[in-house]
Amino acid sequence: MSRVLVTGAASGLGAALVTAFRARGDEVLATDRVEADGIDLVLDITSDDDWAAALDAVRARWGGLDVLVNNAGVAGGGRVDRCTLEEWQWITDINLFGLVRGTRTFTPMLKEQGSGHLVNVASLAGLVHPAGMGSYNATKAAVVAFTETCGHELAAYGIRASVVCPSYFRTNLMDSMQGSDELVGRVVGGLVERSRVTADDIAAAVLAGMNAGEDVIVPDEAARQAYFLKWADRPAYDAVMRDQAAKLLLRDALSLGSSGTGAPAGEADS
């Protein structure tokens, strides 16, 4: 039996992970930034005070922690000249610094007890980097790098670190989507809606990856294929990514052409 803290546990992958951990007999402290059914502790991951309160709650409840799951995050993105610096700051504070805050809070406890497992939820976007998603890609790639660093740095203390990199799956993540590049939001939303992979599927794969000792957990077939293509055939991967970028440009041109400018599609003034 493990003692587990999960952030962003009110819905989506967080809720599925809570269910999966409890199903195998683990004790779970489910946290989220808002009060909701099934949430044990309100935790805004951007708040140092909330993280300090979470540490106190873990000490009072269990005296230690076996697994910290940094799952909470938001969706965002936009092409490089359309994503504002305010949007970059918003997504970075949540997707990267929120996770760093949690890791920094609990690492002394894990070192003291000589064991523990950090599980950081990134995205396939941390491994492959499609056009129009610069800020999201950057934060998730940073999570991948930070997790690997923690794994090396903390191994001597008996602490493991795993990063989870799923492709698109059905979740309510898009409810958090912010950004001035509305076309990118529509494209990403469509990919999420069309996915046949569920949060429960990803949660089961996460636990299996943890049990197998995987440092990088790529939990679904679409993600594994994309990551393998980048590793095995970089020119082919680049061609796929640039074709996707060209399709985004075409959709933008078609949108401009039908927006009442009077210009034919693809020929509107910039």
Chunk the chain into consecutive blocks of 10 residues (it has 270) and report each block's average pLDDT, rounded to whole numbers. 96 96 98 94 98 98 98 88 92 97 98 98 95 92 98 98 88 60 58 73 97 97 95 96 85 59 29
User: Which class for 259: exposed (0-12), middle (13-18), buried (19 or more C-beta within 10 A)?
Assistant: exposed
Q: Counting runs of H as helices and runs of E as strands, what totals does the chain give?
A: 9, 7
Total residues found in the chain within this entry: 270
Q: How many CB atoms lie within 10 A of CB 258?
A: 10
CB 207 within 8 A of CB 21: yes
- pLDDT recorded at residue 244: 86
Token pair, residue 193, equals: 């809606």
Give me the pLDDT at residue 81, please. 86
Is 136 a residue of the active site? yes
Amino acid at 159: I
Q: Please provide the distance, in angstroms rounded to a whole number, between the alpha carbons at the two ends of the chain.
A: 60
Whole-number pLDDT of residue 76: 84
